[in-house]
Chain A
Amino acid sequence: MDLLTLLQVLDSTMRLATPLLLACLAGLFSERAGIFDIGLEGKMLAAAFLSAAIAYTLGSAWLGLLAGIGASLVLSGIHGLASITFRGNQLISGVAVNFLAAGLTVVVAQSWFGQGGRTPQLQGAARFDPITLPFADAIRDVPVIGPIYYELISGHTALVYIALLMVPLSWWVLYATRFGLRLRAVGENPAAVDTAGVSVIGLRYAAVAICGVLCGIAGAYLATALQAGFVKDMSAGRGYIALAALIFAKWRPWYALYACLLFGFLQALALRPDVIEGALGFKVNVQLLDVLPYILTVIILAGFVGKAIPPRAGGEPYVKER
């Protein structure tokens, strides 16, 4: 395998890891605050649809992004209402959110565009364009560094760089700010946070809202950057892979980056069976590559490769003693 092929695979790794990373960090904020969220998939899907629909109508990818975040936030609101205010079952609420998005996106898309549950193809400013970083063209011909910089680091859409910046930002918010400390505490021991006079409900709603924003960006990325428009079920299980990555990362931001890059790499490889065959000398089953993230997560969950311990108060509604 030559350098260029490797760079191509790594380049598509970056593109495929981006939605996983955003959704994974979204889940991280929510679960660290003690709210399980298996509705990442649905939020991404809703955001993908509305961002594509608005981007197409108004011709602006950035307005589409805002609309996508809005759609995701509405679903986050439902999840928050069910699991924080009404102390319902968070898992069931997440399932409902996923189905709501899966159904509504197609019903509304059919009603608005009449194209069998998809939006029209996005063109021009309605899509996020790749950004060429400074000097990329200039040093393109420098051996090794040139191609790496030009092919791999430069030439992604703005959302890819935003996703990458979210990793240190999430780390900073969670581990270096008072808000982050409280957010983590509320996922471990909400009673203690309540005793300290900080609102458990407020913190959890904040976490769910952050989760909504990040899922919104992830969904908008799918429809307006990775692909050009919304198609039915386009999130294709990414929300669940992100959930798997979150467990793989043991609920930590930097590990989340590595886990998502690994799972993105597997997805990129699945698209290039010729590369695997060339590198390994034998055929690797594509289905196996597709399910490897899930199998790895089960192995991690089984505790064979280090223990993944979720936030202690995760999934439990907080009831103040009366």
Chain B
Amino acid sequence: MDVMPKWADVVLIPLISLLLAAILSALVILAIGESPMNALKIMVDGALGSTYGWGYTLYYATNFIFTGLAVSIAFHARMFNIGGEGQAMIGGLGVALVCMYVPWPHWSLALLGGTVAAALFGAAWAAIPAFLQAKRGSHIVITTIMFNFIAAALLNYLLIGALKPQGSMEPATGKFPEATHLPNLHDVLGFFGIEFSKAAPANITFFVAILACVAVWALIWRTKLGYEIRAFGHSESAAKYAGISPTKIIMVSMLISGGLAGMMAINNVQGEAERLVLNAVEGAGFIGIAVALMGRSHPFGVFLAAILFGFLYQGGAELALWTKIPREMIVVIQALVILFTGALDNMVRMPLERAFLAAKRRNKGAA
């Protein structure tokens, strides 16, 4: 385990994996007859070249921070929550109900109410798979996949039925009342005298996401519960022997995970769309997997990885606009990142470990 210095584990390996993913993506772009350098330039210009671009990048990043944290928490307890997508969908349902049926006096209270509802609904959606894992030993990966589909069908059912305003043909709720609309970054930064694009969807939820990062860090590394979660993740039998209840850890970590995934809804549903539409999550739940892997399940890593994926998302949209590279190119990049940072981790790690080991021996020989 201690073959490599810590910096190599947390910085070098993810960077090499990312580089491999980037090289393969460049090859794909070359293969379809476009220039990778040109594509990169368009992506950087479009995503980071203006406050408008940044506004989109940060908006996407906010989603990915929540879902990335959700997957990370579960990873710490050695569980794979693949149900972030469904939990975020149901979180959206919670936000929509709270925004539509509670007369909020001010957006700050609406944000608070929306956050609580989103977290509760998301956690509730994770509760059944968690319970089945803890009590009946059903594999959490399979049950959360199933719950993604059930969530989509439930939402579909509600949005073409009970939640649709009368006379509307679109499967969506009506617009939320004015008082629930969240200030976007233009308003927030304008308060401090910083110019920011008015049209971009990034909103105050970005700061809630940063708070969530800090909270998760404190929970995992500064509380007893966090210690128990990590202990359980390292060795279930050792944790059990130390008097940690597996049922409790599975339930609690999955509820937190589901809650975080659900909280994404205050960004995309309350902050951006200001109504609940079908497929509001747009795969952000799955990107959380890539973000958590890339960020090594550490909140700061998740934050950086989420910004990177926000950049890829906004840049990818620009690519589709200006070149013949379709938007799905981002899905390819996302797949490659998951592949290299997650599944093929050992492929990168083993040669590096060997190199470090050889270097260590050489140093010893010299001394």
Chain A residues at the B interface, C-beta cutoff of 8 Å = 38, 78, 81-83, 86-93, 95-100, 102-104, 106-108, 110-111, 117, 232, 237, 240, 243-244, 247, 285, 287-288, 290-291, 294-295, 297-298, 301-303, 310
Contacts and interface: CB of A to CB of B under 8 A. Distances in A.
Contact of B138 (A83, A102, A301): A301
Contacts of B208: none
Given A107-B28, A244-B146, A302 B136 contact: yes
Contacts of A104: 28, 328, 332, 335
Contacts of A99: 286, 331-332, 334-335, 338
B142 A95 contact: no
B344 to A, nearest CB: 5
Given A82-B339, A294-B150, A295-B150, A91 B141 contact: yes
A297 B142 contact: yes
Contacts of B324: 110-111
Given A92-B338, A107-B325, A302-B136, A285 B157 contact: yes
A80 B153 CA distance: 33
B342 A301 contact: no
Interface in B154-171: 154, 156-157
B357 interface: no
A144 to B, nearest CB: 37
B335 to A, nearest CB: 3
B145 A240 contact: yes
A38 B28 contact: no
Given A106-B328, A298-B146, A93 B32 contact: no
Contacts of A83: 343
A106 B330 CA distance: 11
A95 B344 contact: no
A301 B143 contact: yes
Main DSSP-derived SS at the B contact region: helix
Contacts of B145: 38, 240, 243
A110 B323 CA distance: 12
A138 B292 CA distance: 63
B146 A91 contact: no
B33 interface: yes
Given A93-B342, A237-B149, A287-B156, A103 B332 contact: yes
Given A86-B347, A310-B139, A301 B153 contact: no
Interface string B99-137: 000000000000000000000000000001000100011
A88 B341 CA distance: 10
Contact of A92 (B150, B293, B333): B293
A92 B326 CA distance: 25
B9 interface: no
5 contacts: A86-B345, A92-B80, A240-B146, A244-B146, A298-B143
B138 A303 contact: yes
B342 to A, nearest CB: 4
A205 B139 CA distance: 24
Contact of B149 (A102, A294, A310): A294
Please provide the 8 A-B residue pairs with the shortest distance between their CB atoms, ordered closest to farther.
A103-B331, A93-B343, A99-B335, A103-B332, A111-B32, A301-B138, A92-B342, A82-B343
B19 to A, nearest CB: 17
Contacts of A243: 142, 145
Contact of B335 (A103, A111, A247): A103
Contacts of A287: 153-154, 156-157
A110 B343 contact: no
Nearest to A241: B149
B82 A87 contact: no
A220 B20 CA distance: 31
B28 A95 contact: no
Contacts of B136: 301-303
B336 interface: yes
Contact of B132 (A117, A237, A302): A302
B38 to A, nearest CB: 16
Nearest to A285: B157
A291 B153 contact: yes
A290 B153 contact: yes
Given A107-B328, A232-B328, 9 more contacts: A38-B145, A95-B82, A97-B335, A99-B335, A103-B332, A110-B32, A291-B150, A295-B146, A298-B146
